[in-house]
Amino acid sequence: MSEIKASQVKELRERTGAGMMDCKNALVECAGDMAQAVEALQKRAAAKAVKRMDREASEGIVQSYIHGKGRIGVLLELNSETDFVARNDDFSELARELCLHVAASGPLFVSRETLPEGALEQQEALFKAQVIESGKPEAIADKIVTGKINKWLGEVCMDEQPWFRDGDVAVKEVLQQYMGKLGENIKIRRFVRWELGEGLD
185 and 163 in a single domain? The answer is: yes
Write down the pLDDT at residue 93.
96
Give the range of the structural domain holding residue 127, as residue numbers without chain letter: 116-155
Task: Name which residue leads in pLDDT, 63 or 27.
Answer: 63
**46 falls within a domain:** yes
Q: Output the CA angle 119-201-107, nearest 5 degrees.
A: 35
Q: Are strands 162-163 and 59-67 parallel, antiparallel or unpaired?
A: unpaired
**175 falls within a domain:** yes
107 and 161 in a single domain? The answer is: yes
**184 falls within a domain:** yes
Write down the pLDDT at residue 49.
58
Which DSSP letter does residue 88 get?
S
16 and 45 in a single domain? The answer is: yes
What CATH number is attached to the domain comprising 64? 3.30.479.20
35-87 residue pLDDT tens? 888 888 777 766 665 555 566 778 999 999 999 889 999 999 999 999 999 99
180 and 146 in a single domain? The answer is: no
107 and 182 in a single domain? The answer is: yes
What CATH number is attached to the domain comprising 30? 1.10.8.10
105 and 130 in a single domain? The answer is: no
- The pTM score is 0.72
* 8 A C-beta contact, residue 56 and residue 186: no
**Does the pLDDT value for residue 195 go beyond 80?**
yes
**200 falls within a domain:** no
Q: Taken in order 19, 47, 59, 170, is the CA torsion positive or negative?
A: positive
**201 falls within a domain:** no
* 8 A C-beta contact, residue 161 and residue 155: yes
- The number of domains in the chain is 3
Write down the pLDDT at residue 65.
97
95 and 170 in a single domain? The answer is: yes
**174 falls within a domain:** yes
107 and 189 in a single domain? The answer is: yes
For residue 6, count other CB atoms closer than 10 A to its CB.
10
63 and 41 in a single domain? The answer is: no
- In the chain, DSSP assigns E strands to 59-67, 72-80, 162-163, 166-170, 187-195
Mean pLDDT of all residues in 108-131: 91
76 and 12 in a single domain? The answer is: no
Confidence of residue 2 (pLDDT cuts 50, 70, 90): low
